[in-house]
Each structure stands twice: as structure tokens, then as C-alpha cells.
Amino acid sequence: MSDAPIAIFDSGVGGLTVAAAIAKRLPNERLVYLGDTARLPYGTKSAETVTRYAVQATRALMRFEPKMIVIACNTASAVALPVLTAAYGSTPVVGVVEPGARAAVAASRGGTIAVIATEGTVRGGAYVRAIHALKPDAKVVQRACPLFVALAEEGWTDGPVPELAAEKYLKDIFASADSPDTLVLGCTHFPILVGPIAKAVGANVTLVDSAATTAREVETILDDRNLRRTGPNQKPTFLGTDAPERFARAGSLFLGSQIAPDQVELIDLAP
């Protein structure tokens, strides 16, 4: 099983920030990444719909016989993790919410934590529950930032447009003396907008990247189960449900390395 791949999925290419963090931390692992680009975003859809999509994505990935499934989507992690864990009990399933919450609680000095995410993640309150399970007296402030997803997908990661969006979304949260000292980037699209976000919240706020914290969680589980791969590095396998050219163009930004359109296998997730 140690030679088996790690399967990763997201609604689109934003989850490639998680894949990149895993590849950096565990360079010998084989990665298979599925972006459901035909049906993104998940953040505006109902919990029932997102769960159905997550089950379909995982079913498609199981043909690779993975040793682990990573839900590289905060919205899907928030609603579908229990379903996938129950369905694939012998295969560990890792979401991005719990690792992010643990890192936020550890980083917060005063116990006031802000979470920015998609509408679906905020509406579901998964980060609030996860943080309060670890620190019941924590104060959690949430803010949906849907425009960040579109900016990230278009590659508008710096300059006046993302800076104005970050200021509009975040200025009021961080304007008071008792404002949060920690900010969770609760969407896998958001890490590539870290420059404008950091500028808007100020230097005294600790940013928690759920991609990096999830990679550490993956490493811990592999070590606990003696599942680390020791073979030579291999290129990731990419699967998409629509527009391989767009997947390659936008995905290259999130992954931090070039993806060619012919590297993306087009698949259908319809039941």
C-alpha cells in the first residue's frame, strides 16, 4: 500500500494549493488530483448537492486504488467528510477544516479568530464548530468572500483590484482594538491571494493556510500507518470534468508549476 497514490479532489483547481503543499512536504508520494471544473463552485450549492458531488468524485478516484483520500475543498470537507469516512472506512479520508482549526487555535494569542471562506462553508459553520470543540471560549468571526474565488481563478493575485476587494471584505473586522489576532484562509483558493489579504489585515495578524496544515496532517497519518512512499518522484496525475485548457492555465498558478492541457484527462462524473 505504501506505493499507492494519494487521491485529492476539489470543485476546481483551487485545491491544487493543497496538492502543492503535500508535494513539497512529501516529494516521493504519487498524487492523483481531480478538479470538478464542470460544476464549480461548490460554495454556493446546497449541502446535499455538494455531498453527492463529493461521493461521485471519490468513486472516480477509487479506480486508482489510493491509500488516502484528501478533500481539498473546505465546503466539501464541511458537509461530506462523515459520509466519505463511513463509505471508505478502510481508507483514511482527510478534510481541510479540522487541520485548519487546530492550527488557528494553536496560533491565536487572545482567542479571537477570524475565518474567511465561501458562502457554503460560512453558512455551514464547520470552522466555528471545529474551533469551539478545541477551545470553547474562542470568539470566532466569519466572513464569506466569494469574489476571492473568481479573482484567484483569473490569476488576479496582486494589484489594486484584489487589494480593494480584500480591504472591502476585511477592513471592518480588523479595525477595532479587540480585533482577531488570527485569520484562517478557509478556502483553498485563498492562499494565492495572501499578499492582498495580509496587507488588508496588518502585520500583527497570523494567517493560517489550510493547505499547509492539511499537508502536515497527511504526513502524520502516513507515518502512523507506515504508508510513506520511498520510490522516485513521479509527476501528478490530473483529472478534470471540463475545459482541460482552462484547468491547465489556472491550475498552473495554484500548483506553482506548469501544467500542459494534454496532461489533464477529461472524465465524466455523472452517475
Kindly state the cell numbers that stand for 16. 491544487
The DSSP call for residue 116 is E
111: region left, alpha or beta (phi > 0 left; psi from -120 to 50 alpha): left
Q: Sheet of 237-240: strands edge to edge?
A: 93-94, 68-71, 6-10, 31-35, 237-240, 264-266
Question: Which one of 73, 78, 149, 264 is the catalytic residue?
Answer: 73
Pairwise CA distance, residues 253 & 249, whole Å:
7
The reply to whether 145 belongs to the active site is no
For residue 149, the tally of other CB atoms under 10 A from its CB is 24
Residue 149, all three cell numbers = 474565488
User: Which three three-digit cell numbers place residue 252?
Assistant: 498552473
Residue 115 backbone phi and psi in degrees, to 5: -130, 125
CB 42 within 8 A of CB 67: no
Alpha-carbon gap, residue 202 to 180, rounded angstroms: 11
**Which residue is catalytic, options 187, 212, 222, 255?**
187
Q: Which residues are catalytic?
A: 73, 187
